[in-house]
Amino acid sequence: MQHAAAPEGVHTLRDPDSGLEGLIVLHSTALGPAAGGCRLLHYQDASLMQADAFRLAEGMSYKNALAGLPMGGGKAVIRLPQRSFSRHELFRAFGRAVDALGGRYITAEDVGTSVEDMQAVSESTRFVAGLPSGAGGPGGDPSPWTAQGVFVSMETLVGRHLSKDLSDCVVAVQGLGHVGRSLARMLHEAGARLLVADISEQNVRRVVAETGATVVPADQILSVEADVLAPCALGAIFDETSIGTIRARIICGAANNQLATPGDGARLAQRGILYAPDYVVNAGGIINVAGEYFGWTEKDTQRRIAETGNRLIRVLDHASATGVAPNKAADELARATIAAGPSPLPADSAP
C-alpha cells in the first residue's frame, strides 16, 4: 500500500478508570462511515501505536472501496494495559468514545478482541458490529468470512495462473489464529496438502489434529517449496531479504500490510511471484461487518464474498494492462473509487 493523504481525523482514547489508552483514526469517510476493527495489542510506545493505526486505517479505506462497500476506512487501536483491568469496563469505555463520534466510525473485532468485547462495546453505542449473529443474517466472529474470501481468491489464482485445482496444490499457511485455522480447514476439505507454522504450539497442535498438516518451523515457513504461500499472521514480512528466499509461485493470505514497503511488490513481480494484494483478498470479514450493520441477508453477504475472486482478477488485469505490480494497481483502483465518491446504493445496502 502506498501512503497518500493524511487521515481525516485522529481521536485520542484515554480513560484512567478503565485503563483505556489508544487511538481511533478516521482515514476517509468519502464513501460512508469509516469502518474498521478495534485492535488490542502491547505497543512499546505511543509512536508505534500511532503508526500502526494510521497504516491500518488507510488500508481499511482501500479495502472497503475495492469491496464495493458503502463505507470509508478507519481503525481503532488500544494499548494493552500493563496493570490488572476489567475487559468489560475497558470496552464499555471504548464504546463511549465510539459513540461520541456520532456514527462517523463503526467498530468490530480485530487482533486481540472478541465477540464478547464487542458485546461490551454495544452497551455504550450502536455503532458496532461483530455481535452474535441472528437467524439468517451475518454477524459474530468475522474470521471465517475473512478466510472464505482468501480461499475463493486462492482457488481463482491457482486455476488461472497454475492451471491446477487446489487438490493438486501444496499450500503453506503462516499463522494459525482464527483466520489461519479456518483457512487451513477449508483448504484441507478442498484436498490441498498443507504446510503450517505458528509461534503457538497449541495452535499448531489443533490444526494438525484437524487437517493432518505437516509442521514447519516458524522461521522457515516463508521459504518452503509450495504452490501457494498464505501469510495469516502479522504484517511487513515481505522485504528485500525475505523475498529472495521465497519459493512459492503465488502469495495469497489474510494478513494485513504484508509488504514492508510499496517497492516490495515490484520485487515480488520481478521474481515471477504473483502477489494477491492483501486488502483485496481479505475483505470477507469487513463484508460480513457491513452485512450485519446494514441488515443484509446471509445469502447476500455470501454472494458478495464469493465475488472476491472476480474483484482480484480486475486488479490483476489492471496491473497487466498498466505494467505495474499488483499492489500498486490495487492502490490506483481504490483511490479512483474513493475520489469518485459514493454510488447509488442497491436496495439491500440501505441502513
Matching residue, cell 513481480: 269
| Residues acting as catalytic residues | 75
What number of other Cβ atoms are within 10 A of residue 302's Cβ? 18
Question: Residue 194, Cα to own-chain centre: how many angstroms?
Answer: 22
Extract the C-alpha cell encoding 345. Answer: 446504493
Extract the C-alpha cell encoding 92. Answer: 464499555
Contact 26, 105 (CB under 8 A): yes
CA dihedral 350, 68, 333, 49 (to 10 degrees): 90
In whole angstroms, what is the distance from residue 258 CA to residue 256 CA? 6
User: What is the SS3 assignment for 2-29?
Assistant: CCCCCCCEEEEEEECCCCEEEEEEEEEC
List % helix, strand, coil for the chain (3-state, nearest 5). 45, 15, 40
Pairing of strands 34-35, 214-215: unpaired
Residues paired with 26 in a beta bridge: 9, 74
In whole angstroms, what is the distance from residue 288 CA to residue 143 CA? 9
